[in-house]
Structure 1
Amino acid sequence: MKALRVIAAVMDYPREELWSHCGELLEAARHAELPDARRAQLVAFLTSLLDRDVIDAQERWLEVFDRGRAMSLLLFEHIHGESRDRGQAMVDLIDTYRRNGEELATRELPDYLPVVLEHLSRRSDGEVRDWLGHIGHILELLAARAHQRGSAYAVLFEMLAELGQGHVDLDLMRRRVEREVPDDTPEAMDRVWEEEMVRFADETTATCAPSPSHGVPEPSTVARPA
C-alpha cells in the first residue's frame, strides 16, 4: 500500500536520503490509496517537509517526538509502559515479522510505528485494517495530542486511524487530551530525568551482586533487534 510507505517515510526521523527520493515520494503520495481530501493533505505535508532545510526538519521532528513520552512512536510505550509484558510483546512482534519473511534491517525497535507501517505496506488490505484498527486508540490519542500541540504531524495519525476504522470522530479524544498534564515542558522533562536517574540507581544497586536466596539474577526479558 503506497499510502503506508509514504506515511512511514515522512513520519520517521527526517534523514538526508528523504530529499534524495523526493520525486518518487511525491509521485507515490499523489497515487496513495486515500480519499481525495486526505491524498491532497498527504501531498501538502510532504511538499512542506521537503521545502524545509534538513536541519530545520530534524529539529521540528525532535520537538514533536523526542520531548517526553506522550508522543512516542514506540507503540508498546503506550500499551505496556515499562512493564515486563513489553519485552514479550517485542518478541512476539519480531516473530510476526519473521513468519512473513522479514528481518529488521534497522536499529529501531520492532514496535516503532514507521517500522510497523513499512511491514503493513506489504500486507493485504484486510490485514492493514485489522492491525490499524487494533491500535486505533493509540493513533487517535497521538492525533489528538499532535493537534493540541499545533503539529502538522496530526494529519498523518488521523489518516492511519481512518484506514483502520473508517470515519473517526476525534472530538472526545481531544477533550480528554486537554485535561492531560503536558510532559514536553522543561520542568516536566527534568522530573522524568530525575525519576529515571533514581530508578537507574536503584536497579544498579539491586543487581550488582547476586541475590543471596536466588543466586544469579534472571536475564532481562526485553528483546533487542540484532
Structure 2
Amino acid sequence: MQTLKVLSLLLSYPEAETLEALDEMAAVVEQENLLLDHHKKSVLALIDTYRGTDLLDAQEAYVALFDRGRFLSLHIFEHVHGESRDRGQAMVNLLQMYESHGFEMSTHELPDYIPLFLEFLSQQERAEAAQLLHDAMPVLSLLGARLIERGNDFRAIFDALAGFAGEPEALAEIRQQAATEGEDETLVNMDEIWEEEAVSFMGSGDVCTNQTAAATVNPVIITSREQFLAAHSNRK
C-alpha cells in the first residue's frame, strides 16, 4: 500500500528528495486507488501545494505548524500519556510490535511518530493495517479536527486516513473538543500542561512482554474513549 507511504512522506519534515518526487507520489495516489475519490482529490491538491515551493519556506511552515506546541504533535502517545511514565512502556510495546513484523527502524524518530507508523502500516496486509490505524484514530482524528479549525491543507491526510480505516466512535466529541479548546498554550504553561496523566493505551504494563504477545495485542489501541476525552478536556 504505497499510498500510505506517500501520506507518510507528506506528513514528514520536507526534504529536497520529497519535492523532487511529487509527480511519482501523485501517480501512486491516482493509480493505487486506495483512498475514496474525494479524499484522493484533497491529497493530490496537497501535493500540488508543494509544486514550485522553496524548500526552506516549506520547512519553515512545517516547523511552525507541527513543532511549536503540543496540540499538533505528530507523536501518538504524547496526546494520551503526555510525559508520564506510561509513555515509556507504550513505546516499548509499539517497538516490539514493529520487531515482531520484521520492521526495522532506520530513523532517530520515536516509534510513535505518525509518519513512521504509516510507513510501517504501508508494509502490512490491508486488513491488518486498517485495523491498527483504526485503533489509533481517536488521536489522528483529533489532529485532523484541529487542522480543520486552522483551515490547514494538511487536514487532507487525516481525512484520508479516516476514510481508509473508519472514523472513531467518539468523533463528535473529538470535533467538539477541537472547536472549543482555544489556543495551544504549551509554551506558556509548560509545567502545568506536562504533568503526569493517568491515561493508558494498554491498561496493563505487562500486556506485551515478548514478540509473540506483541503480534497478537495492538499496542496503539485506546481502551477508553472517556479517558481520552477527559484527558484532553483537562488541557484547555
Please give the TM-score of this superposition, normalised by the length of structure 1. Answer: 0.78
Q: Which residue of 1 aligns with 2:30?
A: 30
Contact 2:36 2:163 in 1 (8 A): no
What amino acid does structure 2 have at the position aligned with 1:191? N
- Distance change >3 Å, CA 167–CA 179, structure 1 → 2: closer
- Distance change >3 Å, CA 167–CA 90, structure 1 → 2: closer
What amino acid does structure 2 have at the position aligned with 1:120? L
Instruction: Determine helix, strand or coil for the equivalent of 2:94.
Output: helix
Contact 1:42 1:156 in 2 (8 A): yes
Q: Which runs of 4+ in 1 moved over 4 A?
A: 166-172
2:8 pairs with 1:8: yes
Q: Which has the bigger relative contact order, CA under 8 A and spacing at least 6?
A: 2
Contact 2:40 2:160 in 1 (8 A): no
TM-fit CA distance, 1:168: 8.7
What amino acid does structure 2 have at the position aligned with 1:73? L
Percent of aligned pairs with the same amino acid? 36
TM-fit CA distance, 1:21: 2.0
Gaps of 5+ in 2: 196-236
CA distance in structure 2 between the aligned counterparts of 1:2 and 1:169, rounded to whole angstroms: 29
Give the count of matched residue pairs: 193
CA distance in structure 1 between the aligned counterparts of 2:105 and 2:168, rounded to whole angstroms: 32
CA distance in structure 2 between the aligned counterparts of 1:126 and 1:119, rounded to whole angstroms: 14
Q: Which residue of 2 aligns with 1:44?
A: 45
TM-fit CA distance, 1:125: 1.1
Q: Which residue of 2 aligns with 1:145?
A: 146
What amino acid does structure 2 have at the position aligned with 1:190? V
CA distance in structure 2 between the aligned counterparts of 1:89 and 1:169, rounded to whole angstroms: 22
CA distance in structure 1 between the aligned counterparts of 2:170 and 2:42, rounded to whole angstroms: 18
TM-fit CA distance, 1:20: 2.4
2:65 pairs with 1:67: no
Larger radius of gyration: 1
CA distance in structure 2 between the aligned counterparts of 1:42 and 1:136, rounded to whole angstroms: 18
Q: Which residue of 1 aligns with 2:208?
A: none
Q: Which residue of 1 aligns with 2:184?
A: 183
Contact 2:138 2:174 in 1 (8 A): no
Q: Which residue of 2 aligns with 1:212?
A: none
CA distance in structure 2 between the aligned counterparts of 1:97 and 1:120, rounded to whole angstroms: 10
CA distance in structure 1 between the aligned counterparts of 2:150 and 2:170, rounded to whole angstroms: 18
Q: Cα deviations across residues 94-150 of structure 1 (Å, max 9, x unaligned)?
A: 111111112110011110000000000010111111111101111111111011112
CA distance in structure 1 between the aligned counterparts of 2:103 and 2:176, rounded to whole angstroms: 39
Instruction: Determine helix, strand or coil for the equivalent of 1:190.
Output: coil
CA distance in structure 2 between the aligned counterparts of 1:9 and 1:125, rounded to whole angstroms: 19
Gaps of 5+ in 1: 200-226
What amino acid does structure 1 have at the position aligned with 2:83? E
Q: Cα deviations across residues 53-103 of structure 1 (Å, max 9, x unaligned)?
A: 111111111121012101110001012111111111111111111111121
RMSD: 2.3
